[in-house]
Every structure is written in structure tokens, then in C-alpha cells.
Amino acid sequence: MKPAPTLLSTAFLHPAGQALPGPLLALRKQRGAALVDMPLPTRKTENWKYSSKYLKLTDEMATSLPTDGKTGSALAVPGYKVVFINGVMVPEASEYPDLNNILIQRFGDLSDAEASELAERLDTTLDTKAVQFAGLNSARFEDGLVIRLKPDAVLDQPLFIIHEVTADASGSAFPRIFVDAGRNSQITLVEEYISSGQEAVFVNSVTEFTLAEGANVTNIRLSMGGENVQHIGATGVTQQRSSRFQSHCVGFGGPLRRHDLQVRLEGEGAECKLNGVVVTQGTQHYDNHTTIEHIAAHCDSEETYRNIAADKSHAVFNGRIHIHQDAQKSNANMNNKNLLLSTGAEIDTKPELEIYADDVKCAHGATIGQLDEESLFYLVSRGISRREANVLLTMAFINELVAQIPVDAVKDTVQTRLNQFFDQAFQEA
Amino acid sequence: MLSIKNLHASVGGKEILKGINLEIKAGEVHAIMGPNGSGKSTLSQVLAGNDAFEVTSGEVTLNGDNLLEKETEERAREGVFLAFQYPVEIPGVSNLQFMRTSVNAMRHHRGEPEMNAAEFMKLAREVSKQVDLDPAFLKRGVNEGFSGGEKKRNEIMQALLLQPKLAILDETDSGLDIDALKVVSDGVNALRAKDRAILMVTHYQRLLDHIVPDYVHVLADGKIVKSGGRELALELEARGYAWLGIKDEATAASSAN
Ligand SMILES: Nc1ncnc2c1ncn2[C@@H]1O[C@H](COP(=O)(O)OP(=O)(O)O)[C@@H](O)[C@H]1O
Ligand SMILES: [Mg+2]
């Protein structure tokens, strides 16, 4: 057998699409140069320990998926919509307002001055040493969306970004979003990752948020790609004084799913709330790595993640909270609960706390368990079928997080996908 | 209606029921009394189909059907109801959703249309009044943070909703104050019907002041050692289990203190 490659194939270092302003092309080139000899993660790579075996990149996947003439699945959404197909925005399929105080622009439409300002800011929310694939996105993006909210601007409806890959051939897509939320601005951004077609594809996405003082950003992220999609995504967030960031990540497993979420609380009084739900079945995989950096004093973070793994699937959670020396009066709460629906499933969870300030309140907990037999018996003793009892108890495990998703239509989408999951996971005896 | 013949059951290899024989006819109320650890809950759980307990021999039929070969949910749909001694707390499943799912499972089994949320809410509010449980309890997680007495009333509420053929009440009287005991026994008396059998399991006879049984059985060490009419309960009240030559650890322990 041929030994697995240890370096990222150079085939991945050739971006397509030159229709970008000069400063972004220059950035891309510079990031690409830095990736020559990029090692691929292995079992020995600490932050890929449990997941490296699922990453299977081929040279065919290095090619950018074609974007011409694709219209996508035309989902109806209750709000504004931007459609990206194979990493490139489709203006004909998108509907969003043209406002003075909220600028929604694709990268290709930026002036050189705007592009150069953006180029300065891309990647600054993420620790690209730890999240190397974010660097790959920066070397490869062909398009992207930048959303700039001026001070006090409030987007009156959620903005949905539909990221679809059309996997009619093997290839990859590199969608990129940058959100600059000005002072006291507000936005709810929904990202839905979906796919059509059956060929093996690779999606490498990055979304960044910078929150100025008092900004209030809600991000819902649904990862719903197919069984042929390997997806490595990263979300980076920086928060200034008294800003608030709320994240709801709901992920359904696949051959490889990786999401790194990094939040930097840089201004006093900033708050973040990170909710996550992952369900995996069959031989699926999902890996969430989150990092919260408490840099300024008086910041609050609250993180609640739930994993449910059925069959022979594998879910991974790594939650790191880093409280810097000056971050006195930090409040950090991290809770991760895991439910194994089968003895063949695997869940690896690791909360990591690093505290360098002395006056902080920190709590963390992680548990792994199965459905409770006594509860099951109680339910079936009332005539409820085993299948329904399993569903009720499994839903009970994540109800609270699903209920907190602030957009009803998204909640419905999630429930529909969960019902499909239950149909597979709990077949009627 | 219910016929138990020479029932033996064990848990973890330890035999707990050692040959139970019992016949209950429709319309009758039977009380099973016995000291702690005598096997009352084991009998109740075995009848409901808890497979944590292994039936090693014997026969149980409900209206002639072999009960032991049926799954728990089938037994329930055919009319077996167990009010648990220790009702389970299930956070995340609302009491209302739980009860509606249960009622609809039964209706589905009988070929009746399901009740929608509004219809069920109306019914649930009425029945909750009957057991003096604030309708706010319907919104909470199943038994979540309920007091002992609230849990018992919630069990009786389910019995009233489900209208079983055979209601097994496992120490539904324990942990109740006088008022709650009255509410619960009114609920049980409301369940009494010509076509329904009730098996009341109790450690104390005080429930029997409110619900007059047709028969009383004394269970000791996995066997029914004495059966009689309701006067047997009074006799036990007056003379204790020792009168029957039964060691009652709870009584012994309390008199030792
Ligand atoms: N799950 C179990 N595992 C081991 N022993 C059990 C279990 N359940 C009951 N027992 C034992 O069986 C005996 C009868 O218990 P139980 O039926 O609960 O009695 P009662 O309800 O009359 O107090 C006791 O000795 C008890 O310790
Ligand atoms: Mg008992």
C-alpha cells in the first residue's frame, strides 16, 4: 500500500478565478506561498488526533468545482438571501437590500481601496497556526462576501447565506465570508451548508466576524452536506467592549466534518454564548474544536455543546477556554454532554481550561452516557413505542438548544433533519 | 381478569418472587401488604414487563392472554397500568407531551383518531383538577422537581387519563400528607369500575381507610402467606406483621432505635 501523503498536495495550491481586485489576489498568493510544505494532520497532530483518519484528500478534489450556469436548489428563506454555489456567489439567486448603512458586497465588486482594507483584516480573527485550513481558504477563495454594518445599523431580517456545492464531479469549494459589525450594529446571519450530486468533494470554508463596541451578532450555522462531502470550516470572532455574539451550530455528520470556532473577547464586558448540537450516524464523523480567549476583564462566555452518536459514528468535542492574565472577573461556563446511542459509536470529549488570572469564575463539565433504561421503561409502560420513547429521550437531550435557535424556520429545518436521523437511528422493531 | 400462577422471578440471580398465586376478577380491588423488601415492587414491575427482572417460571394471564410474552408497551396498550412507587424524572420531555403521546398511542392501538394538542390540553386540564395538580405541572418536565406527593398525583392523573383495565398502584399512598392522601384515594375510588381490576400495593393500611379493598393479601419473602377480607388489614394494623411470624425489618429497625 502506498503510504499516506504527509504534505498537502501542491495540486491544492493553484487557485482558480482571477476576477478579484489586486489586493485580494496578492493576499491569496502570499497565503499560498506559506502553505508549500504544509503538513497534513496525522494522529500525532494534537488537534487532529481523533479526526485525521477521516481526512482523505485526492488530487482530483484539488480542482475548483465549476461555477458557470449553476443555479442551485432555490431554497425559500424567511429573510434576505445570498446564494453561493461552489464557493462563488450567484447574484441572480440572491435577494438582499441595497442600504446605505449595511453594505453587502461580493469580493469581486470591491474597489481596490476597499479590497486592500479587507485584505488587511482577513484571517485576523483566527489563529491560523492552529487552524491551518483557514490559511488554505485564504490561498484559494475565488469569491467571498463582505458585510459591513455601519454604527447603529440594524438588519431587520435574518440574512441567509446558502452555501451549496454541486458535486457532479470531484472537486472543491472555498467559500469566504467577512462580517464587520460596527458600533451598536445588529445582524442575524444564518449559514447553511448543503450539497447536491454524489461525487467526492471538499469544502473549505471560513467565516469571520469583527464586533465593534456594543455590536450584537447572532450566527446560526447548519452543516448539512451529503455523505460525499468532506467539510473543514472555521469561524473566527473578535469582540470589542460590551459586544455580544451568539452562535448556534447544528451539525449533521459526514465522512469528515470539522469546525473550528474561535472567539476572542478583547474588550471589557463582551459576552459570547456558543451553543452546539451534533448528531452522527452510520460511519459518520464530526469534530468541533472551540476556543474562547478571555483577553479583557469582565467578559462572560457560556458554551453548551451536545453530541449524539449512533451506530458506528464518531463525534469529537474539544473546548478550550483561555483566561489571560488581565482578564479579571471573567465568567466562563462550558458544558458538554454526550449521548451514545450504540455501543459501536465513539465520542471523544476534552474540555481544556487555562487560567492565568486569579479573580475569575470558571466552570466546566463533560459527561458521556446512554439513554436511561429506567426512563425508557417508564415511557413504554405508558404504551409509548420503543422507537418513540427513544426519540423523546434523545430530543430531551437537545430540546433546550434547539428551542434557543432564534429563527423559527431554521428550527423547523433542524427538526426535519433530526426526524430523518431518528428514522435511521431508531428503526421500528 | 388477572391470573397469576406459581410466579417466580429473580434479579441478578437472586430469587425474589418465590411462587405467587393470585386471581383478580373484574370489578375487584385487591390489596397486597407486606414488609419492606418482601417483593411487592418486584411483583408490580414484573407485571408491567420490566425486563430488569427475570421471570424464571410461572404463568400470568390477562383475560386469558399470556401476559408474560408481551412487550411492556403491548401490555400497556391492552390495559395494564402501573403507578410507580418511584416515578421517574425525565427533564426535557414535558409532562403534557408525555401524556399526550401516551394517550395517542393507546388511541392508535384501539383504532381511534389521535387527539390534537388543543383537545388534549382541555382533557388534561380537567383531569389535573381532579387530582388537585396545578395545570402548570403539565408544562414541566415529566416529574421534574415534583415533590413526592406531586409525583403520586401525577401517576393517578395518568391512570385517570388512560382508563386501564388493570391498575397496579405501587405504594401510591406513601409519602403523602393527609390532604394528598384524600386526593389520591378519591382518584383511586374514581377508577373503581365493574370492568376494571385494581391491585393496590401498600406497606401501611392507612390507604385502606379510604379505599376499601375486597381482598387483602400478605406478601412475605416472595410469597403470599395469608389472604382474607379487609378485616385482615385491620388485624395487621393492630398486631403488626410479627403476628404472622414475619420479620419486618422496618418495624424492627424503628423499634430498635
Ligand atoms: N434491581 C434490583 N437489584 C437487586 N436487588 C433488587 C432489585 N430490586 C429489588 N431487589 C431486592 O429484591 C427484594 C424485594 O424488593 P422490592 O420488590 O422492592 O420489595 P418491596 O417493594 O416489597 O419493598 C429486596 O431484597 C430488594 O433489595
Ligand atoms: Mg416497593
How much is the average pLDDT of A145-156?
A: 98
Interface residue of B53, B70, B88, B99 to substitute, partner A, most A CBs within 10 Å: B88
Domain boundaries, chain B: 2-89+163-256
Nearest CA to ligand 1 atom 3: B11
CB–CB of B102 and A383 under 8 A? yes
Q: Quick one: pLDDT at residue A1?
A: 57
Q: Quick one: pLDDT at residue B257?
A: 32
- The answer to whether A71 and A61 have CB atoms below 8 angstroms apart is no
Q: What is the radius of gyration, based on Cα positions, of chain A?
A: 21
The three-class DSSP label of residue B245 is coil
Q: Quick one: pLDDT at residue B254?
A: 39
Distance, CA B174 to ligand 2 centroid (Å)?
Answer: 10
Is residue B238 over pLDDT 90?
no
Chain A interface with B: residues with Cβ < 8 Å: 372-375, 377-386, 388, 392-393, 395-397, 399-400
CA-CA-CA-CA dihedral for A97, A102, A108, A112, to nearest 10 = 150
Q: Quick one: pLDDT at residue A2?
A: 62
Question: From the list A372, A377, A383, which residue is nearest B106 (CB)?
Answer: A383
Q: What is the radius of gyration, based on Cα positions, of chain B?
A: 18
Write out chain B residues lying below 8 Å of A376, CB-based: none
Q: Quick one: pLDDT at residue A428?
A: 59
Edge-to-edge strand ranges of the sheet holding B215-220: B80-83, B166-170, B197-202, B29-33, B215-220, B223-228
What is d(CA A23, CA A113) in angstroms, rounded to the nearest whole number? 9
Of all atoms in ligand 1, which is nearest to the CA of residue B53? 1
What is the number of the ligand closest to the CA of B38?
1
Write out chain A residues lying below 8 Å of B72, CB-based: 377, 380-381
Is residue A17 over pLDDT 60?
yes
Higher per-residue confidence, B232 vs A257: A257
Write out chain B residues lying below 8 Å of A394, CB-based: none
Q: Quick one: pLDDT at residue B175?
A: 81
- A372-427, pLDDT tens digit by residue? 999 999 999 999 999 999 999 999 999 999 999 999 999 999 999 999 999 999 97
CB–CB of B93 and A397 under 8 A? no
How much is the average pLDDT of B126-148?
A: 94
Q: Quick one: pLDDT at residue A365?
A: 93
How much is the average pLDDT of A239-254?
A: 98
Displacement of CA B123 from its chain's centroid (Å): 23
What is d(CA A120, CA A117) in angstroms, rounded to the nearest whole number? 5
Mean pLDDT of chain B: 91
Distance, CA B46 to ligand 2 centroid (Å)?
Answer: 12
Write out chain B residues lying below 8 Å of A378, CB-based: 84, 87-88, 90, 142
- A90-119, pLDDT tens digit by residue? 999 999 999 999 999 999 999 999 999 999
CB–CB of B162 and A400 under 8 A? no
Higher per-residue confidence, A6 vs A327: A327
- A37-72, pLDDT tens digit by residue? 889 999 999 999 999 999 999 999 999 999 877 767
How much is the average pLDDT of B178-187?
A: 89
Is residue B180 over pLDDT 70?
yes
Q: Quick one: pLDDT at residue A3?
A: 65
Distance, CA B41 to ligand 2 centroid (Å)?
Answer: 4
Q: Which pLDDT band, with edges at 50, 70 and 90, does B210 fall under?
A: confident
What predicted TM-score, i.e. pTM, was given to this entire model?
0.93
What is d(CA A178, CA A149) in angstroms, rounded to the nearest whole number? 11
Question: From the list A372, A383, A392, which residue is nearest B109 (CB)?
Answer: A383
Q: Give how far A355 is from chain B: nearest CA, Å.
A: 33
Question: From the list A375, A377, A396, which residue is nearest B72 (CB)?
Answer: A377
Q: Quick one: pLDDT at residue A156?
A: 96
How much is the average pLDDT of A235-253?
A: 98
Question: From the list B49, B101, B141, which residue is nearest A384 (CB)?
Answer: B101
Is residue A73 over pLDDT 80?
no
Q: Which CATH topology does B2-89+163-256 take?
A: Rossmann fold (3.40.50)
Residue A19, Cβ neighbours under 10 Å: how many? 12
Is residue A199 over pLDDT 80?
yes
Terminal Cα distance for chain A, rounded: 42
Is residue B178 over pLDDT 90?
no
Mean pLDDT of chain A: 95
SS (H, E, C) chain A: CCCCCCECCHHHHCCCCCCCCHHHHHHHHHHHHHCCCCECCCCCCHHHCCCHHHCCCCHHHHCECCCCCCCCCCCCCCCEEEEEECCEECHHHCECCCCCCEEEEEHHHCCHHHHHHHHHHCCCCCCCCCCHHHHHHHHHCCCCEEEEECCCCECCCCEEEEEEEEECCCEEECCEEEEEECCCCEEEEEEEEEEEECCCEEEEEEEEEEECCCCEEEEEEEECCCCCEEEEEEEEEEECCCCEEEEEEEEECECEEEEEEEEEECCCCCEEEEEEEEEECCCCEEEEEEEEEECCCCCEEEEEEEEEECCCCEEEEEEEEEECCCCCCCEEEEEEEEEECCCCCEEEEEEEEEECCCCCEEEEEEEEECCCHHHHHHHHCCCCCHHHHHHHHHHHHHHHHHHCCCCHHHHHHHHHHHHHHHHHHCCCC
